[in-house]
Structure 1
Amino acid sequence: MHVKVFANLRDICGGVTVEVDPAGNTVMDVLERMVEVFPRIETEIFTAERELKPFVHVYINGKNIIHADGLRTVVEETDQFALFPPVAGG
């Protein structure tokens, strides 16, 4: 699955798009695989309780997962997966 990453996650992952081969078919499976491959990403996106940090957003086909099943949202290989970290500025 192709995952587009933005802002500081690009530096951690080494590019705008990364290839991820998750063990399952949910958003959480994709993110857990990303943590395995890019360990530094864990503290950027997850709380200690293994929830998304505030202002971290995941979009599947342009729709925020908060409007679906959250981290349990099922994803297909062909879905557009985008991961946005918190961004500050003004």
Structure 2
Amino acid sequence: MDVTVYGPLRAATGSKTVEVPVDGDTVGAVIAALVDAYPRTESQLVDEAGELRPSVRVMIDGDNAEYSDRVPPGASVEIFPAMRGG
């Protein structure tokens, strides 16, 4: 599945859009696949308890998505980590 990442996630993935093998059809499965493929993304996406950080936004086909939401085949997935600065 192609995943587009923004902000500091690009430094961890080396590219704006990456392809990751996803085992499942939920936002959580996409996040897990991204962390497996790019371990440096973990601290930006999940907290110590393994939960998605509240500041992370996931968009599926342009709509906000929750951790348990289904990701249809061929959907556009975008992940926005917390942005810092002013």
The TM-score bracket by the shorter chain reads over 0.9
Q: What are the ranges of 5 or more consecutive residues in structure 2 without an aligned counterpart?
A: none
Counterpart position of 2:69: 73
Q: Which moved more, 1:15-24 or 1:48-57?
A: 48-57
Residue 32 (structure 2) pairs with residue 32 (structure 1): yes
Counterpart position of 1:54: 54
Amino acid at match of 1:20: V
- How do 1:4-19 residues align onto structure 2 when only pairs under 5 Å count? 4-19=4-19
Amino acid at match of 1:71: Y
Q: What are the ranges of 5 or more consecutive residues in structure 1 without an aligned counterpart?
A: none
**What RMSD in Å do the two structures reach over aligned CA positions?**
1.0
Identity %: 36
Is the partner of 1:4 in helix, strand or coil?
strand
Q: Which runs of 4+ in 1 moved over 2 A?
A: none
- Structure with the higher fraction of residues in helix conformation: 1
Counterpart position of 2:22: 22
Whole-angstrom CA distance in 2 between matches of 1:54 and 1:72: 14
TM-score (norm 1): 0.89
TM-score (norm 2): 0.93
Is the partner of 1:72 in helix, strand or coil?
coil
